[in-house]
Amino acid sequence: MIKTIYPMLASGGKSSDKWDDPNWWAEEKVDGSRYLMHIGETGNRFTSRQKSRGTGLPVEKTENIPHLSETAYPELAGTILDGEIQHKDFSRTVSIMGSKPERAIQLQQEIGLIDYYVFDILEYKGESVREKTYKERRAILEGVVDKLNNSNIFATEVAKQDKKEFYKKIVERGGEGVILKNVNSVYVDNTRSKEWIKVKKYITDDVVIIGSEEPTRYYEGKAITGKTTWRYWESTIVDYNYIEKEMTVDEAKSLNYRPVTRAWFKGWIGAITFGKYRDGKLVELGRTSGIEDSMKEELSDGFCKIKAEFVGTVMEIGAMEQMKSGAYRHSRFLRLRPDKNAEECIWEGR
């Protein structure tokens, strides 16, 4: 048995006053998949921050990476590390960690072994070190990585001075960015900490609107409790009619109503699919969220689809990067660009 742990997350807070503050260090943000490494007597196990729909426990991918999991470090048993699994190409990372073990192993035989970049430590030889400062944990972490002596396990790079230059160099060589960390911060499981701040590269681009996706229909959030009021409801007893009314969940249950999202109730779109032209054909390259309600209303036909007049027009998106496959990572809607011609949005990738 291993402990069920969900890792601490970074926030997207203000960073401008942290670059020259000696109490904040800049740590490279590795572009990979987040996994905890649980070191045992006879081997190691790797759990994700994702929760399995089947078991309700963190997803485990130990068997996908035998070169990391099967080497035993009995002198470090009970140690739990936090890090990123990464192949040189992010899309390869997704393929390896998202595949079944047999396919994951075969892929690595073809394209090379995946690496593990460690940036924090939660427990050392069975004892929690979460209450130690980041500065103290970092020193313990580097000692552990040295003891592991594994050619596929590294400690992430950290800059204590000239942090902004460090960030710029990472972005220039194609990296994702940095996490600014307060040297006095502690580690708190399953929280988003303001003591860790993400600073990532960002690109903008013009793309062609292809269509849209429906929004999430039912609201399943944590706020749905017996004391919470909700505004939009679906009647399950009268031809699935919808009503807009403030009531508690208990009141709604007595009427057999189910809460729905505002976007579904209003008939708005959920996301926009987009692409670019290649060899005269429009190729889909992603989907974008981050659309404000006023824009959703403007774009939607009232039946959760985008108005036909917008299909084939241009919009501007922001994204972390465009991968070699042409897909954009974490794309967000910025604005419509009626001043741009769709034919000018050309993808010249491979």
pLDDT tens, position by position, 201-242: 888 899 999 999 999 887 765 555 555 666 777 676 555 677
pLDDT tens string 4-19: 999 999 987 778 889 9
Decide whether 9-200 matches 205-213+268-344 in CATH topology. no
Helices (H), 134-198: 134-148, 163-172
150 exposure class (CB count in 10 Å sphere: 0-12, 13-18, 19+): middle
Alpha carbon 44 to its chain's center? 24
What pLDDT does 174 receive?
Answer: 82
What pLDDT does 151 receive?
Answer: 94
Tokens for 324, please give them: 């070699």
- Cα dihedral sign, 257-262-267-270: negative
Q: Which of 17, 7, 144, 134 is nearest to 83 (CA)?
A: 7
Angle at 75 between CA 74 and CA 78, to 5 degrees: 75
Neighbours of 302 (CB within 10 A): 10
Assign domain 205-213+268-344 to its CATH architecture: Beta Barrel (2.40)
Q: Which of 238, 237, 232 is nearest to 219 (CA)?
A: 232
Q: What is the pTM of this model?
A: 0.67
Residue 257, amino acid:
Y
Largest CA distance in the chain: 66
What pLDDT does 68 receive?
Answer: 97
Angle at 212 between CA 208 and CA 214, to 5 degrees: 165
CA distances from 330 to 132, 207, 285, 319 (A): 33, 15, 12, 5
Q: In the chain, where are the structural domains located? A: 9-200, 205-213+268-344, 229-260
Angle at 133 between CA 171 and CA 80, to 5 degrees: 80
Asked if 48 contacts 33 with a C-beta cutoff of 8 angstroms, the reply is yes
Q: Which of 274, 263, 223, 290 is nearest to 12 (CA)?
A: 290
What pLDDT does 322 receive?
Answer: 86
pLDDT in tens for each of the 350 residues of the chain? 799 999 999 987 778 889 999 999 999 999 888 999 999 999 999 999 888 767 888 989 999 999 999 999 999 999 999 999 999 876 688 889 989 999 999 999 999 999 999 999 999 999 999 999 999 999 999 999 999 999 999 999 999 999 999 999 998 888 889 999 999 999 999 998 999 999 988 888 999 999 999 998 877 655 555 556 667 776 765 556 777 777 777 777 777 777 878 888 888 999 999 999 999 999 999 999 889 999 999 999 999 999 999 999 999 999 888 888 889 988 999 999 887 889 889 997 65
Upper half-sphere CA count for residue 266 (Cβ side, 13 Å): 17
Tokens for 222, please give them: 């944590």
Q: CATH class for domain 9-200? A: alpha beta
Q: Which of 215, 243, 239 is nearest to 306 (CA)?
A: 215
How far apart are alpha carbons 261 and 49 in whole angstroms? 26
Angle at 130 between CA 128 and CA 135, to 5 degrees: 125
